[in-house]
Amino acid sequence: MDEQGIYAKLTEIFRDVFDDDRLQLKPNTTAADIPDWDSVNHINITAASESVFGIQFNSSELEELRNVGDLVATIKKKTE
Amino acid sequence: MPGLTWLPQDPEWKSNLKSLPHSDSRWASLMALANTQMDFVRTAQLDRQLAATPLSIGPEPIKIALLSSSTADQLLPSLRVAALRRGLRLDIHVPDFGQYRQALFDPNSMLVKLPFQVFLFAIDAHALIGDEFIADTEQAKTHLSSRLSDLAGLWRRAHNRTGAQVIQQTLMPIQPSLLGNGEYRATGSPAAMIRAANVQLRALAAAENVDILALDDRVSCDGIAAWHNRALWNHAKQDVSPAAAPMYGDLVVRIIAARRGRSAKCLVLDLDNTLWGGVIGDDGLDGIILGQGSAQGEGFLDFQRNAKSLAQRGVILAVCTKNDEANALEAFDKHPDMILRRSDIAAFVANWDDKATNVRRIAAELNIGTNSLVFADDNPFERNIIRRELPEVRVPELPDDPALFSSTLADSGYFEAVEITKEDLARGASYQVTRELRQGLIATSDIAGYLESLDMELIWGRFDPVSLRRVTQLVNKTNQFNLTTRRYNEAEIAAIMRDPDAIGLHFRLVDRYADHGIIAVLMGRQNSRDAIELDNWLMSCRVLGRGVENATLSIVVGEARRRSAQTILGRYRPSTKNGMVRDHYPSLGFCLSSGQEGHETVWKLDLAMPTVAAPHIRIKEITGG
């Protein structure tokens, strides 16, 4: 899947998880930019991404996903 | 992902969530949203709306303590939303991580001080029996029994404080096998101990009056990967994956609801394409699909067997069908493969009234609330009418394949029972006796609003080569809504197309849920300058009760006027199957012209008089072709 498509779907996931329809994602968006992005919501985002993109993150990916850019790159790699 | 597959999908879910009212109707709107299919993200969204709902709206919350050995945050929205699905509200208290045991014994803890009504013990396999292989068999057995008796001590602690309901979840099979198929021989392997613990937990729970949350059974349906993700366990100590949380919540709350007498009591069954394939009134006793080695027929038998077993364990069965009663009963009495018999059915309603009215009738006859009913019908139209008219009735989304009816019904948990009593086992017989005695109050249902919301369009045209095959099929297959039962072959119908005095019309119905295709056919002839005589009028029973007949008549009236006719004559020829249209013409405003009851009759409509309106259906003509 191309980056644009991933960003579109990921934006929808973030908007649903954080109940914020105006939320915009940039590659350098991190947990610090979104107040409710705590450890529980972090898992919710990864778990929702797994079902939406039909992938599964491995242990190292779960730990290393620090910002939106990382997440998109990992999803891109896994859906290629 | 273990989905809530028995719930309908709501295409408007997001906008409905955003437009939740703030008035007293908010609770009903929240409940309606909770009764649609949703994943854990939507569940959390709905939970936030629930949290923003004042306690003055909705019922008094049930206080529940969630004693979990692992991370439980991902389960809380699903528990609250599953309660909402049943019109309940939960106030969940979770002790600090890893502190549940101490909290049960600490006199200053919330667990001891507050009057909890439910204690849910969500102990994972790591915590209950550990991850080590115990080589010595006796030592392994002792280890297990001491862990279980320790757990039973915690249950008693919870029980004795408040007389609360105690729920113990079984262990998910999260450990790898050490031997493989012969695992059971290694008593002390973690995988074998999980299996043994689940057996012993059940016996212990029964003795201690504790209810079992059978996660292991659910995992055997969905697969462990759907429920548990080892990487997520290592990362965040989540035993149940977020994706499985909505199902987890529903499993827990159906136990809580069952203890409060909120499980359904009665299964209301449709007949055609629900208990057998095909339409008994049209296909006849030897035409319906049931058993006989056909895969579909075996699927319907499966469902009948399942319904029979449910009846034997105390669920009341009722039939609600749009059929002539004689046709419907004939299948029960005479079809050799039927598993369900008349004596299994406590209330048998076969007529042509709308199903909401009939469902009320069934509840009244059985003297139970409509909120105790589960309505099983293959037809989405009927399911939606019940959901709309009687939102308290549980209406599972039956899948297309009858092979999956039983598992869908089981997955719904609508008949959840925490125990089985002597009364349950004897219930069928008692209803048989009362069945004939009871007469209930029946309110009529105003379905005008529902019909309007269907956004129906009746598209009509003249017989043409494109429609020829379907028209011929309908003319020769339809038995019930068929005014004269005159059959025509393709050549005869093709001849009508070429004859300027002959009238041959077909009607197709489209609504917001489906394109039903050609569902009605009308044939007639202009025999004199001022009269049109209808030779036949037939319609598929699938679209009954929507006012299609009235709309059809208005089209015929237009056609008659175009031909400068002043009257329309309609003929009714009784058959053994078409009793339902005996009053078809008089109900449309026709007057008797000749003949007498029980025999062929001819009815007359004077076009100078106003005719019946069809308010809920738009009409469109297709021309050319």
Residues A18-77: pLDDT tens digits? 999 999 999 999 888 998 888 888 999 999 999 999 999 999 998 888 889 999 999 999
Cβ contact (<8 Å) for B242 and A58? Answer: no
On whether both B173 and B242 belong to a single domain, the answer is yes
Q: Considering only alpha carbons, which residue of chain B is nearest residue A57?
A: B231
Q: Has residue B437 been placed in a domain?
A: yes
pLDDT of residue B266: 95
Test A62 with B40 for CB contact under 8 angstroms: no
Q: Is residue B182 part of a domain?
A: yes
Residue to mutate among A51, A60, A63, with most B CBs inside 10 A, is A51
Same domain, B405 and B549: no
What is the reported pLDDT for B89?
Answer: 97
Q: Are residues B156 and B88 in the same domain?
A: yes
Residue B7 lies in a domain: no
Q: Do A48 and B241 touch (CB under 8 A)?
A: no
Question: Could you tell me the two tokens for B178?
Answer: 């050490």
Q: Angle, nearest 10°, between helix axes B380-389 and B355-366?
A: 60
Return the pLDDT at B508. Answer: 92
Residue B437 maps to which CATH number?
Answer: 3.40.50.1000
- Looking at the fold, whether B215 and B68 belong to one and the same domain comes out as yes
Would residue B602 count as lying in a domain?
yes
Which pLDDT score, from 0 to 100, does residue B435 have? 46
- CA–CA separation, B479 and B283 (whole Å): 8
- How high is the pLDDT of residue B444? 36
Q: Which of B224, B259, B294 is the last residue of a domain?
A: B259
Task: Quote the minimal CA–CA distance from A13 to chain B in Å.
Answer: 8
Crossing angle for the helix pair B245-259 and B215-222, to the nearest 10 degrees:
140
Contact B234 A47 (CB under 8 A): no
Domains of chain A: 3-79 (1.10.1200.10)
**Last residue of some domain: B192, B224, B259?**
B259
Range of the domain at B366: 266-446
Best probe of the A interface among B41, B46, B238, by most A CBs < 10 A, is B41
Asked if B188 and B321 sit in the same domain, the reply is no
Whether residues B133 and B66 share a domain: the answer is yes
Distance CA B277, CA B272 (A): 6
Q: Which of B1, B41, B231 sits opposite A16 (nearest CB)?
A: B41
For residue B9, being part of any structural domain is answered with no
Q: Which of B41, B74, B241 sits opposite A40 (nearest CB)?
A: B74
- Asked if residue B349 and residue B459 are part of one domain, the reply reads no
Profile chain B (625 residues) by mean pLDDT over runs of 10 residues: 91 94 91 96 96 91 95 96 97 89 84 88 96 96 96 89 87 97 96 97 94 97 95 93 97 94 94 97 93 91 97 94 95 94 92 96 88 96 95 97 97 92 62 40 53 87 88 84 90 90 94 81 92 93 83 93 93 90 93 90 90 84 72
Tokens describing residue B177: 């096998």
Let me know whether B431 and B525 are in one domain. Answer: no
Using a CB-CB distance cutoff of 8 angstroms, which residues of chain B are in contact with residue A17?
Answer: 41, 44
**Domain edge (last residue) among B237, B259, B281:** B259
- For chain B, the residues whose C-beta falls within 8 A of a C-beta of chain A are 1, 39-42, 44-45, 48, 73-74, 229, 231-232, 234-236, 238, 241-243
CATH of residue B147's domain is 3.40.50.1110
Instruction: Report if residue B3 sits inside a domain.
Output: no
* Per-residue pLDDT, B283: 93
Domains identified in chain B, total number: 3
Q: Is A40 on the interface with B (CB under 8 A)?
A: yes
Q: Is B497 found in the same domain as B437?
A: no
Is residue B538 located within the same domain as residue B569? yes
Whether residue A2 lies within 8 A of chain B, CB to CB, comes out as no
The DSSP annotation for B118-175 comes to EEEEE--HHHHH-S----SHHHHHHHHHHHHHHHHHHHHHHHHHH--EEEEEPPP--S
CA B149 to chain A, closest CA, distance in angstroms equals: 34
Interface contact flag, B41 A50, Cβ < 8 Å: no
Q: Check which CATH number belongs to the domain holding B485 and give it.
A: 3.40.630.30
Q: What's this model's pTM, rounded to 2 decimal places?
A: 0.80
- Domain identity same for B541 and B580: yes
Which pLDDT does position B624 carry in this prediction? 58
B517 and B603 assigned to the same domain: yes
Cα B46 from Cα A2, distance rounded (Å): 31
Could you tell me if residue B5 is inside a domain? no
* Closest Cα in chain A, distance from residue B44 (Å): 8
In degrees, rounded to 5, the angle at the alpha carbon of residue B576 between the alpha carbons of residues B274 and B578 is: 65
Residue B2 lies in a domain: no
